[in-house]
Amino acid sequence: MKALVLESYNNLVYKDMPEPEYKPNEVLVRVKACGICGSDIHGFDGSSGRRNPPLIMGHEASGVIVEVGASVKNYKVGDRVTFDSTVYDLDDWYTLKGKYNLSDSRMVLGVSPKEYKRHGAFAEYVVVPEHILYHLPDSVTFEQAAMVESVAVAAHAIDLTPINLRDTALVVGTGMIGLFLVQLLKLSNAGTIIAIDIDDKKLALAKKFGADHTFNSATDTNIPESILALTHNRGADVAFEAVGVSATIKMAIENVRKAATVTLVGNISPKVEIPLQAVVTREVRLQGSCAIAGEYGIVLELIEKGLVDVDSLLSATAPLEDGADWFKRLYAKELGLNKVILQP
């Protein structure tokens, strides 16, 4: 099969690779669409430490089942499917508690930290176990389905966060996840939604998707005062940090009220600094949000019903063989590019 392989850092090669073999509980999927995730970009240059070459990356995908293992019961050849980005054991202690995203056996498609290597979906075919599959509704396209993972990451973060009726919610970082956070917050209990970024075009999208107020942290010099004025001089009730660097985490912490919850979704940096005294003396709760834990089904339903807009964030579709060029463009932070989907 053809695949886009990270041969070495900053070096993607479109080449022949062996077709993957599947186990009795697995299916072989002919990939129809696979999105380039921001984490793939950080893996491309080795900065994340989680994509050690050689590796086939790609975990935001959809396709058609072409072969099924002997023990597969609920799926058949020809089914249109998407699948969770996380592969996990069903009998794991965390899985049995409904937290498969924390499973000790957890592997992410298209990822290769020191502990494991699991080839992903920037290829003609990928193998996945039956229990991470989801049938696609007839009206959901392969391209839309390749964006479910990003929406589900945002949904999981909101599921973890105690949002009371009419709470003010702050979103720091309006990249892909941040923009889906805004959309889903609009469907939640939240009242006022505030978004912060350094890109006016992304902030315009945040406004389109439901943000009531937006601020550019590169040019607006009085953001804390503005947020206090919008929140009865207290600060936001909850915040979502969707970047993962010290400056934006500090911004999220310092713009919430006492006893607020700050949910950390972004994880670009392995280590960050936090304003410890601002956390301790104001009893701010910090929590991490890792990937997804069962949100795929509801996200597919939201897309099917038109309640979440993924199409506005799709910048381009391109053949897999052109993938290396699109990685370079995304890595260079070309203006106007959001989600790029590769098609084997």
Output the domain CATH number for residue 329: 3.90.180.10
CATH number for the domain harbouring residue 263: 3.40.50.720
232 and 180 within one domain:
yes
138 and 15 within one domain:
yes
pLDDT of res. 335? 84
124 and 81 within one domain:
yes
Tokens of 183: 């959309």
In a domain, 297, yes or no: no
Domain of 214 in residue numbering reads as 153-288
Tokens 């009730």 correspond to what residue? Answer: 237
Rounded to two decimals, the pTM is: 0.96
134 and 46 within one domain:
yes
Contacts of residues 269-275 at CB distance under 8 Å and 24 or more positions apart, as own/partner, are 269/244, 269/245, 270/49, 272/244, 272/245, 272/246, 273/246, 274/246, 274/249, 274/250, 275/250
118 and 171 within one domain:
no
In a domain, 293, yes or no: no
- DSSP code per residue over 69-106: -TT--S--TT-EEEE-SEE--TT-HHHHTT-GGG-TT-
Point out which residues pair with 214 in neighbouring strands: 195
> What is the Cα–Cα distance from 214 to 186, expressed in whole angstroms?
15
177 and 143 within one domain:
no
167 and 80 within one domain:
no
202-217 pLDDT, tens digit per residue, is 999 999 999 999 999 9
97 and 20 within one domain:
yes
Q: What is the mean pLDDT of the chain?
A: 96
197 and 135 within one domain:
no
pLDDT of res. 50? 84
228 and 109 within one domain:
no
Question: What is the mean pLDDT of the segment spanning 146-159?
Answer: 97
Q: What's the distance, Cα to Cα, between the start and end of the chain in Å?
A: 10
321 and 235 within one domain:
no
252-281 pLDDT, tens digit per residue, is 999 999 999 999 999 888 899 999 999 999
21 and 77 within one domain:
yes
Q: Domain count of the chain?
A: 2
